[in-house]
Amino acid sequence: MDSLIVVAGATGDLGHRIVTALRQRNAPVRALVRPETDPAKIDRLTQQGVQVQPVDFSDSVALTRACAGASCVLSALAGLREVIIDTQTQLLNAAVAAGVPRFIPSDFASDYTQQAPGLNRNFDLRRELQAIIDQAPIAATSILNGAFAEVLTYNIPLLDFKQQQVGYWEDADWQIDFTTMDDTAAFTAAAALDPTTPASCALPAFSLVRASW
């Protein structure tokens, strides 16, 4: 039996890459989109064979129905507290109510478990969500890919092409994980389709995944 993957955030950059990686593996995908989503983005998904389901994330009954039948609910939503905590908690609760066995939150970051609380707002939000997930009766996997490698082309202080300089703070030997968005998407798709995803699993050399059961 094919494993249906429900994806929230499929119209975003990373989300669409994940959907593409899933479809390349012949996985059936249901994309949850807001009713006001740009029709052009919906068309792009349907052309890939994706089932598009408009849904109001604040409607718990409709959201639960939209998650029904999935082997994994995957979030690629991006934002601050309203999205990372509020919307994803709604999605988590719907997945649990629908009897979905697995959940992947939209972490896609460095390993925030190795950072002290209060140093990074985005890490703190993910840490807060993880505490909520830990209390839910569902297997959850966090994809911790480090930074997206694409940022290295943005002429940031870390890698300044104009000045031909590499910037660092305090420790010149500090190691940083980078993963391309396509590789992150491919790994996420593989994790979503693997019901035996382990409690912890390192990607070779440059990134890792953490799971809670």
Specify the CATH number for the domain of residue 134. 3.40.50.720
Note whether residue 57 is domain-resident: yes
Cα–Cα dist 104/61, whole Å: 21
Cα–Cα dist 133/179, whole Å: 25
Q: How far is CA 199 from the centre of its chain?
A: 17
Note whether residue 157 is domain-resident: no
Residue 198: predicted pLDDT: 59
Note whether residue 90 is domain-resident: yes
Note whether residue 169 is domain-resident: no
Q: Domain range holding 50?
A: 5-147+178-212
Q: What is the pLDDT of residues 91-121, one digit of tens each?
A: 999 999 999 999 999 999 988 888 899 999 9
Note whether residue 164 is domain-resident: no
**120-127, long-range: CB within 8 Å, 24+ apart, which pairs?**
121/80, 122/84, 125/80, 125/81, 125/84, 125/85, 126/84
Residue 169: predicted pLDDT: 83
Question: Phi first, then psi: what are they for 80, rounded to 5°?
Answer: -110, -145
Residue 126: predicted pLDDT: 96
Residue 191: predicted pLDDT: 95
For 25, the token pair is 């593996």
User: Got the DSSP string for 145-198?
Assistant: --EEGGGGGS--TTEETTTTEE--SS-TT----EE-HHHHHHHHHHHHH-TT--
Note whether residue 153 is domain-resident: no
Note whether residue 193 is domain-resident: yes
Q: How many domains does the chain have?
A: 1
For the chain, 213 residues long, the average pLDDT of each consecutive 10-residue run is 89 98 98 97 98 98 99 98 99 99 94 91 96 95 91 88 87 87 96 78 45 44
Note whether residue 167 is domain-resident: no
37 contacts: CB under 8 Å, gap ≥ 6: 11, 54
